[in-house]
Amino acid sequence: MTDLLKIYRIANKNDITVDCFKLGKREALSVMDEDGSCFIAIDPF
């Protein structure tokens, strides 16, 4: 499994936004926008 620091490094290298959100039943969520922009939401709560 990839550790969290490695995920942040990969995201940074690929211009992917990573932010914290309360997601309820999920621990993480990834989304690609219409224009190809990528985002990762992580629920640390």
Strand partners, 30: 40
- Selection from 34, 3, 35, 32 nearest residue 16 by Cα: 32
Residue 29, amino acid: L
Work out the average pLDDT over 6-23. Answer: 92
Give the pLDDT band (50/70/90) at residue 1.
low
Work out the average pLDDT over 23-37. Answer: 92
Q: Number of structural domains, the chain?
A: 1
Work out the average pLDDT over 37-43. Answer: 93
Give the pLDDT band (50/70/90) at residue 15.
very high
Provide the domain limits for residue 25. 4-42
Work out the average pLDDT over 7-31. Answer: 91
**Separation of alpha carbons 37 and 6, rounded Å:** 20
Task: Specify which of 6-10, 22-26, 37-41 reaches the highest per-range mean pLDDT.
Answer: 37-41
**Separation of alpha carbons 35 and 1, rounded Å:** 29
